[in-house]
Amino acid sequence: MDRIWAPWRIEYIGSAKPKGAKCFLCIEPGHDQENLVVGRLGSAFLIMNRYPYTNGHVMVVPVRHIGLAEELTDEESLDMMRLVKRTVSLFKDEFKVDGVNVGMNLGRAAGAGLEDHVHIHMVPRWFGDTNFMPVVGETRVISEHLFESYQKLKRKFIEKVL
């Protein structure tokens, strides 16, 4: 059986979550830039992942704080999938990707670092984007600064989606 090691994620997974702390995905529209929200569409929004697997790693999130995928309204589900579709196009245009991983981790046993607010991960992929570093050095190389990726996607989102 093959295994994927992501030791850099333990910082996030193991961090203490203070009681009563505000959900980091519950973002008021006036605070989009400081929270790296790329854009909004109906009842969903697109946000950069601050702990990316690769540059451009984003999450599609319903505005409403909800922890169960089966309780999403049809409108929320549709808006989220519309953003997934449009983000694939953004990735192709801006990052010249060869593919995209799209997925949800539903429940802690499935790898959800945040169980209380469902979201869809979108990870851009390129041929040859893996190398010896994660295996030998237990280090993931992110080739572009998070804020640079954010600015590129935000610009394309405004151009193409709005």
Q: Among 57, 65, 117, 119, which one carries the catalytic annotation?
A: 119
Cα separation, 7 vs 5, whole angstroms: 6
Asked if 49 contacts 58 with a C-beta cutoff of 8 angstroms, the reply is yes
List of residues 6+ apart from 145 with CB closer than 8 A: none
Asked if 124 contacts 57 with a C-beta cutoff of 8 angstroms, the reply is yes
Asked if 160 contacts 101 with a C-beta cutoff of 8 angstroms, the reply is no
Please confirm, yes or no, whether 65 is among the known catalytic residues.
Answer: no
Cα separation, 46 vs 132, whole angstroms: 31
Show which residues are catalytic. 119
